């Protein structure tokens, strides 16, 4: 098949009826479709999205026809053609009440936001590989991975500012739009509770002092999450004397990415031996009304350990900044028990 995409930068937009169905999927009124774009609307839609649509690597591991075999084991690997890319994920998200990962969720979410009149640019981000660590003191330092995450930049006519929006990062996610600014101090906001804070800085990608610098480079944006001692509430402004440190999440360039290039990034993330998702089961979403509390299901094959996925809750005001899980449950990595759990706890339809 010829991989050429004749209109690679075309802006996909959900039809009004499908956008209304999407609103109902994320527990918002279908009448909201006639609301003009604003920061309040963007914030409302993003939070509802994160509370209802999980990040899910399951399609990479379980072909759809295997969900009928209750006794089959779930084997981690790559069922690449089963992971929908871009707005092809619309039916999976809207009708089947399921999730996907960023190259499907954020692309579909972009087409949904455009139905309201938002201008959405789809970008690719380089993920930080030592999450929640302080790159200034941790042995990993500034440990960057590859371009394996899609993010969105939202704006609208008549409004001077633009905002980073992400519907599919997963654990420790920023659940609010955050403004792009060229100010040296960047933009800092609190999350959904007093133990979360995030900062977006316009800068060259930070690198360890002993590594080579790129010959040609431009400043991008780095999103940071604030990590503080457990029980330490965060207040603004955050200064050098404030407790805790900033840990990067991802770095991106303000350059729209074509559909053809997203095919390439998706192929790597879904098939390459160094890609994390091919060896990692993850289903996670914010708990509705939980102020940042999140339910997570995670599994990776480890020698000597049972084949059960761990389900637990993180974040929210109750955690007081702790990254530890609570309310732990276990689900066998078999089709029958997994299907039952996803139907009951995530609302999946098979």
CA angle 165, 166, 169 (to 5 degrees): 160
H or E element in which residue 164 lies:
strand 163-165
- Angstrom distance (rounded) from CA 11 to CA 20: 19
Domains located in the chain, CATH noted: 16-346 (3.30.2140.20)
Among 76, 81, 83, smallest CA distance to 100 is for 83
| 59: three-class secondary structure by DSSP | helix
Phi, psi of 23 (to 5 degrees): -60, -45
**φ, ψ at 89 (rounded to 5°):** -80, -5
Encode the chain (350 residues) as per-residue pLDDT tens digits: 556 778 889 899 999 999 999 999 999 999 999 999 999 999 999 999 999 999 999 998 998 889 999 999 999 988 877 777 777 888 999 999 999 999 999 999 999 999 999 999 999 999 999 999 999 999 999 999 999 999 999 999 999 999 999 999 999 999 999 999 999 999 999 999 999 999 999 999 999 999 999 999 999 999 999 999 999 999 999 999 999 999 999 999 999 999 989 988 988 888 888 888 888 999 999 999 999 999 999 999 998 888 999 999 999 999 999 999 999 999 999 999 999 999 999 999 99
């Amino acid at each position: 098949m010829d991989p050429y995409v004749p209109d690679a930068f075309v802006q996909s937009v959900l039809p009004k009826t499908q956008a209304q169905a999407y609103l109902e999927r994320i527990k918002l009124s279908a009448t909201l479709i006639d609301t003009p774009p604003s920061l309040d609307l963007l914030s409302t839609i993003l939070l509802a999205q994160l509370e209802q649509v999980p990040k899910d690597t399951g399609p990479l591991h379980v072909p759809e026809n295997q969900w009928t075999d209750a006794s089959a084991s779930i084997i981690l690997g790559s069922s690449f053609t089963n992971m929908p890319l871009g707005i092809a994920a619309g039916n999976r998200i809207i009708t089947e009440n399921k999730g996907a990962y960023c190259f499907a969720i954020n692309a579909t979410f972009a087409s949904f936001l455009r139905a309201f009149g938002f201008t959405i640019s789809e970008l690719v981000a380089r993920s930080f590989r030592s999450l929640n660590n302080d790159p200034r003191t941790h042995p990993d330092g500034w440990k960057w991975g590859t371009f394996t995450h899609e993010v969105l930049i939202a704006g609208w006519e008549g409004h001077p500012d633009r905002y980073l929006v992400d519907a599919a990062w997963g654990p420790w996610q920023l659940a609010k739009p955050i403004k792009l600014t060229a100010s040296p101090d960047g933009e800092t906001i609190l999350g959904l509770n007093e133990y979360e804070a995030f900062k977006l800085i316009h800068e060259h990608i930070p690198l360890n002092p002993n590594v080579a610098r790129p010959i040609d480079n431009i400043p991008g944006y780095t999103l940071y999450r604030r990590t503080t001692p457990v029980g330490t509430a965060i207040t603004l402004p955050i200064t050098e004397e404030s407790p805790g440190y900033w840990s990067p999440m991802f770095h991106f360039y303000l350059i729209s990415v074509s559909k053809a290039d997203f095919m390439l990034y998706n192929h790597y993330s879904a098939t390459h031996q160094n890609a994390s998702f091919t060896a990692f089961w993850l289903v996670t979403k914010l708990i509705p009304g939980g102020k940042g509390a999140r339910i997570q299901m995670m599994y990776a094959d480890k020698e000597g350990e049972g084949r059960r996925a761990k389900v637990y809750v993180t974040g929210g005001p109750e955690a007081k900044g702790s990254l530890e899980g609570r309310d732990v449950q276990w689900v066998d990595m078999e089709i029958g028990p997994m299907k039952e759990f996803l139907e009951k706890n995530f609302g999946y339809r098979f």
